[in-house]
Structure 1
Amino acid sequence: MRVLLLLLALLAGCDRPAATGPRRPVAGRDVVMPFAKTFRVVERDGYRVVDLTASVVGWGGDAVGEEQFQRIVLVPRTGTAPPLTGDLAGATLIRTPVMRIASNTAFHEAITRVLGVNDRLVAVGGVKSWDDALRARVRSGAVRQIGYGWHSPPDLDALIAAKPDVLLMSMEDMKSVAAMPRIAALGVPVVPIFLDNEPDYMGRVDYVRLVGMLVAREREANAFADMVARKVAVLKAAAAAQPTRSVIAAWFGGGDQWNPTIRNADAKLLRDANGRNLFEGPDDPRKDSFSRISTEQLIAQGADADCWILRDTHSIPYRDIATLRRFRAYREGCVFAGDGMHKPAADAFDYYETAVIRPDLVLGDLVRMLHPALRTEPFRYIRPDTKVPR
């Protein structure tokens, strides 16, 4: 009978489209989020309402489908839940603090780690965790594997078996969006994480504050976010006192394809390091941070850059020395790679975990890359490229 009821709930959920926006804002006292643009939190008597709104953006491309919207009501376990009617109709009710957490993306694990609640993770994407202790728990089966959210929705069998109170869910395509009502129908509240849609890299840090509300670690979350903001301010001031230098961040995608950083949070990091990004264009939350161009375009716009981030963890090796020599950055030895903090045995990159919510660490690398006078600390994530052919 229980299986039949679950099946009926699942089929009912399939008939409900994913929530889309925009929706009318709810009334209440705003809980300050200094930088976030993809979510808003309001306080009411005894509970909070969180509205999350963003587009699902294809990798290296444009937004797909309608803008997504989710309204969540956070109610303390000891409190009385408001009726989900009126402006709360269709909202997702979550009791706080959340004690059992499922996650489908690596940087969620960094958030729970800085909040001191990694022991509450009952399901994660897989075994690529940077955190050795968590990875061991996953390998032992103590933490379930539901699949990373890069290309597919979570594995429902593993998710339900983990019995989470909530699923922190990043979505890379519309298949994941379509899975949300099915997951909710099976009794797992979904909190969509639109961190990648934040136009300012500090907006990503505000997601630590949001998860802090879920797990009752707001004090720790606010202290963390304030610490990152202070460090960013110091780095920006130091960089601004140096001469502006030109830069490109373009990695090789194979064939005749390059992927330069153009817009949004990644471009802002280059700008705040007092770099003049030769490929910079207008910010657009409905586009990914990079676009695809040809080698000819790369040379035409980027040949005179002072520095070049040539590789990242996705890059295919580029061996054409004759083409490389056409770039000033290559000739003068300012070629860098974004592949630091790697544990090869685990295929784990901290760049996709801690670095996402520690933009001060990434900004520090960029500042040191562009301004040799400020190289007083070692590089961490973005470092001189020792694999570039000579």
Structure 2
Amino acid sequence: MYKIVGITVLSVFLLACRNKAKGEQNDAYSVASNKVDLFQYKISPKYATGFSVEYHGNYKVVRTQSKLSSWSGNASESKKDIMVLVQKGTPIPKLTGELERAEVIRIPAERVAVNIENAENFLGELGLTDKMVAIGGLISYNDSIRKSAIEGDLIQVGYSWHQPPMFENLLASKPDLFLMNLSNLDFAESLDKCRQLDIPTGPVFSWSEKSYLAQAEWLKYYALFFNAEEKANAIFNEIEQNVENLKNKVTSLKHKPTAIWGYYTGKDKWLVHRNSTESQFMLDAGLDNIFFQPEAPLKNAGEPMAFEELLSKAKNVEHWIIGDVHSETLPKVGLMNSFISWRLGNLYHNFKRSKPKDNAYDWYGSAIVRPDRVLADLIHLIHPQLLPDHELYYMDRLSKDFQFPIAQEAL
């Protein structure tokens, strides 16, 4: 009996000592961390409004926000989230107040899952492709990534535009980070579900940003989870400077050609850009988008328009970005000849980097990350004298006899 009591007392004593030592270690680190900053390089979003970050010695507090709408109804809801990214090998800080229920994620991540095409490109720009263990599916523009998914080396978890993540596949990939693109209110509960399954998950809302530079700036968000801030800053600064230089080239233009950006959806209906990232590209490329409405709600997918309205307002437009991977077979030539841009052959498309047999279109991948290349393409096509040596990357001229559609299925 005395032996049992002695062992029990000893166990309690040792446990108390360990807890005291742990507390002293946390306290000591907390004091030291006021003087020692483990994150030499930091980021601060300039254009993006969907995320922010604060640095605290050995951890980062990351906040995200976006308004989600239901694709199956009219419901909408603002979604906010807080994460605490803690440097590996250091103690988790005492979480109080708004941080009490924050998601704690150890960094830098080593095994990451993603569920949208452009995430592969954000990671690729940062040199982190080898960290991926799971992707959305089989439509990556990158042949090596697509091959790895086909062979099973990369697990498929489903693309965010079509479905919530496949939880069993996610668990099988054993990620220490899931960067989950979340765009549909109907799938919003997936974020909590992933975390309940002990999958460290960070929401991605790059799609909701109101400008192409803000979307590209999510490169910095991806970098937070890998302590890759230095590289992210350098790359984004290059993108931003390239855009500024390109915009400066068109400021001296005395004439801004009229233009529209819209593709045919069938049944005498078109999808036209009034206020979107495409509209911003047109503005920054020195084009007069006759449908531009900056005060209108942002609709990056474009807005439907009947053929009659398009004809009455755009028949004298000089240039037309008409080619898109979603376009249906165009109306008969007799109707298209009603447009000056068609008769002049001033027609363009955005699917230069496409692999239809693989259902892979880089316009939805790296073009999000490198808008400077998109802007350069557009300027070269419309104002070739300003960029005579530019090699087209995403966009090109469209032949009037091109056969639509080219997409295997809707993305």
Query: Shorter-chain-normalised TM-score: which range?
Result: 0.7 to 0.9
Instruction: Report the CA distance shift for 1:57/1:300 in structure 2 as closer, same or farther (over 3 A).
Output: farther
Partner of residue 201 from structure 1, selected from 194, 212, 215: 212
Instruction: Report the CA distance shift for 1:388/1:85 in structure 2 as closer, same or farther (over 3 A).
Output: farther
Equivalent residues, number: 360
In structure 2, give the amino acid aligned to 1:67: S
1:237 maps to 2:256: no
Provide the secondary structure at the position in 2 that maps to 1:210. helix
Report the CA distance between 1:284 and its aligned residue. Answer: 5.9
Provide the secondary structure at the position in 1 that maps to 2:242. helix
Paired with 2:297 and 2:43, the residues of 1 have a C-alpha distance of 23
Paired with 1:386 and 1:293, the residues of 2 have a C-alpha distance of 23
In structure 1, give the amino acid aligned to 2:261: A
Instruction: Report the CA distance shift for 1:63/1:202 in structure 2 as closer, same or farther (over 3 A).
Output: farther
Cα offsets for 1:252-293 (capped at 9, x unmatched) = 111122111111322211111111111111356664451111
Report the CA distance between 1:117 and its aligned residue. Answer: 1.0
Report the CA distance between 1:144 and its aligned residue. Answer: 0.2
Q: Please, which runs of 5 or more residues in structure 2 have no aligned partner?
A: 1-41, 404-411
Partner of residue 304 from structure 1, selected from 309, 313, 316: 316
* Contact kept in structure 2, 1:62 and 1:286, CA below 8 Å: no
Q: Which residue of 2 aligns with 1:249?
A: 261
Provide the secondary structure at the position in 1 that maps to 2:79. strand
1:383 maps to 2:396: yes
Paired with 1:160 and 1:213, the residues of 2 have a C-alpha distance of 23
Report the CA distance between 1:334 and its aligned residue. Answer: 0.7
1:144 maps to 2:147: no
In structure 1, give the amino acid aligned to 2:61: V
Q: Which residue of 2 aligns with 1:292?
A: 304
Provide the secondary structure at the position in 1 that maps to 2:217. helix
* Contact kept in structure 1, 2:137 and 2:157, CA below 8 Å: yes
Instruction: Report the CA distance shift for 1:124/1:285 in structure 2 as closer, same or farther (over 3 A).
Output: farther
Q: Please, which runs of 5 or more residues in structure 1 have no aligned partner?
A: 1-29
Report the CA distance between 1:241 and its aligned residue. Answer: 2.2
Q: How does 1:111-126 map to 2 (within 5 A)?
A: 111-126=122-137
* Contact kept in structure 2, 1:212 and 1:221, CA below 8 Å: yes
Report the CA distance between 1:301 and its aligned residue. Answer: 2.3
Q: How does 1:100-111 map to 2 (within 5 A)?
A: 100-111=111-122
Report the CA distance between 1:116 and its aligned residue. Answer: 0.9
1:368 maps to 2:359: no
Partner of residue 260 from structure 1, selected from 264, 268, 272: 272
Q: Which residue of 1 aligns with 2:234?
A: 223
Out of 91-100 and 38-47, give the one that drifted further. Answer: 38-47
In structure 2, give the amino acid aligned to 1:180: L
Higher relative contact order (CA 8 A, sep 6+): 1
Instruction: Report the CA distance shift for 1:64/1:317 in structure 2 as closer, same or farther (over 3 A).
Output: farther
Instruction: Report the CA distance shift for 1:110/1:307 in structure 2 as closer, same or farther (over 3 A).
Output: same
Out of 281-290 and 348-357, give the one that drifted further. Answer: 281-290
Structure with bigger gyration radius = 2
Paired with 2:349 and 2:286, the residues of 1 have a C-alpha distance of 19
Provide the secondary structure at the position in 1 that maps to 2:77. strand
In structure 2, give the amino acid aligned to 1:166: L
Q: Which residue of 2 aligns with 1:24?
A: none
Aligned-pair identity in percent equals: 28
Instruction: Report the CA distance shift for 1:174/1:57 in structure 2 as closer, same or farther (over 3 A).
Output: closer
Partner of residue 32 from structure 1, selected from 41, 44, 65: 44
Q: Which residue of 1 aligns with 2:93?
A: 82
* Contact kept in structure 1, 2:53 and 2:61, CA below 8 Å: yes
Instruction: Report the CA distance shift for 1:163/1:386 in structure 2 as closer, same or farther (over 3 A).
Output: same
Report the CA distance between 1:171 and its aligned residue. Answer: 2.5
In structure 1, give the amino acid aligned to 2:206: L
* Contact kept in structure 2, 1:198 and 1:265, CA below 8 Å: no
Paired with 1:99 and 1:249, the residues of 2 have a C-alpha distance of 41
Paired with 1:110 and 1:268, the residues of 2 have a C-alpha distance of 22
1:68 maps to 2:79: yes
Paired with 1:284 and 1:71, the residues of 2 have a C-alpha distance of 31
Report the CA distance between 1:374 and its aligned residue. Answer: 2.8
TM-score for the superposition, normalised by structure 1 = 0.87
Q: Which residue of 2 aligns with 1:356?
A: 368
